[in-house]
Amino acid sequence: GAGVSQSPSNKVTEKGKDVELRCDPISGHTALYWYRQSLGQGLEFLIYFQGNSAPDKSGLPSDRFSAERTGGSVSTLTIQRTQQEDSAVYLCASSLSPPRTTKGSYNSPLHFGNGTRLTVT
Amino acid sequence: AQKITQTQPGMFVQEKEAVTLDCTYDTSDPSYGLFWYKQPSSGEMIFLIYQGSYDQQNATEGRYSLNFQKARKSANLVISASQLGDSAMYFCAMRDTGRRALTFGSGTRLQVQP
């Protein structure tokens, strides 16, 4: 089946402009996540959606960053007044709602899209 | 708070040999899951293997196995019979009751030499 789809794959924008990044998760996946990966670095968590609500938005670096999800499906990450330090690859992932096993472990892996490479000039 | 530590920024291994990538974690939650992902130069994140905190046996998936030492809070990835296509970044990650998202380590770059 289709995987996680992100668009655009590349985005170059001028400092101060707003950008919107789109994520289309795997059908049936109720959980959706946004991460950011700077060049050669690990993955930095931004926000987690369960359905249309975001119970964990603790990773958003500033109020310039916001995200929404509609219809329990597509999500949009918006960065306002972009800065050069916002340049990174933005990765979206989806998973089944982490099922709690009888022993309490959460074993739903995240399935990632190919990311959007954002360059702020 | 969750923390994942990968102390090896880079590793080299000869083709057909086994290699161990280290991962230690810190959580006070008795219920957690540990994941390993591979990121080739193309950038995609590929899920490799999962280990639950209550699992009695070490997880295995083909050439990948996880050396889970709960008391030491380590979850090392073992790749047997390395192939040139195994050259990539490898990330260890964890989820516990406190956070549904995965927390990732800084990664280890593995290079397989012919």
pLDDT digit string (tens) for A93-117? 999 876 555 455 567 899 999 999 9
Could you tell me the two tokens for A103?
């022993």
pLDDT tens-digit readout, A73-96: 999 999 999 999 999 999 999 998
Query: Whole-angstrom Cα distance, residue A86 to residue A15?
Result: 9
Q: Identity (one letter) of the amino acid at B72?
A: R
* Closest approach of A23 to chain B, Cα-based (Å): 15
A52 touches chain B (CB under 8 A): no
**Residue of chain A minimizing CA distance to B43:** A114
Query: Does the beta-carbon distance from B52 to A42 stay under 8 Å?
Result: no
* Closest approach of A44 to chain B, Cα-based (Å): 8
Residue B18 pLDDT exceeds 70: yes
Pick from B26, B27, B28, B22: nearest CA to B6: B22
Query: Whole-angstrom Cα distance, residue A36 to residue A89?
Result: 6
For residue A76, list its beta bridge partners: A22, A68
Residue A62 pLDDT exceeds 90: yes
pLDDT tens-digit readout, B67-91: 999 999 999 999 999 999 999 999 9
Q: Are strands B99-104 and A31-37 parallel, antiparallel or unpaired?
A: unpaired
Q: A6-15, A78-87, A106-115, B43-52: which range is least confident on average?
A: A106-115
Tokens 């668009």, residue located: A7
Which one-letter DSSP state was computed for residue A27?
A: T
